[in-house]
Amino acid sequence: MSNSIKWIIFVTGWMTFRAVGSSLFLFWNITGNERGAPPEWVLALIGDFIIGTTALFLIYAILKKPSSLVWGLLLSWNILGAIDLFSAIRTSFLVPFGPIPEIGLTNIGVRSILILNTFLQISCIYLLFKDSVRNYFKN
């Protein structure tokens, strides 16, 4: 297994944290907690939840059933994830959100995490077009 495939697996696994964080913030919204996200954030948080939960299935498919279909799903997943992150970055400037300032998760902390995740997903999009990676997914 090439380092590129290992990186794609790592980044895909990393994105599961999006489901964890978004679940917490969405739960706070539902329960009326003061740390809940403003309403403008709900769409981005739902996108994070979907991207994060589907990451586990993609990791399994990458490891156990690599195919052209999985390659296409992975490419689409990364593009949708990056679009969701771009939207969240834009929202972070329009409606700042600092849910847990005690641990540094201020509006700047949230924005930093969003930017990091965006770069990670863009790196996977780039790697998916390398010949060695495309060969891994060929049937």
pLDDT-based confidence at residue 59 (cuts at 50, 70, 90): very high
Greater model confidence, 22 or 105: 22
The confidence score (pLDDT) of residue 48 equals 92
Average pLDDT, the chain: 91
CA distance 91 to 4: 32
The confidence score (pLDDT) of residue 139 equals 60
Beta bridge partners of 100: 105
The confidence score (pLDDT) of residue 121 equals 96
Please list, residue by residue across 18-43, b when 16 or more beta carbons sit within 10 angstroms of its beta carbon and e when fewer do. bbebbebbbeebeeeeeebbeeebee
69's CB contacts (< 8 A; 6+ apart) are: none
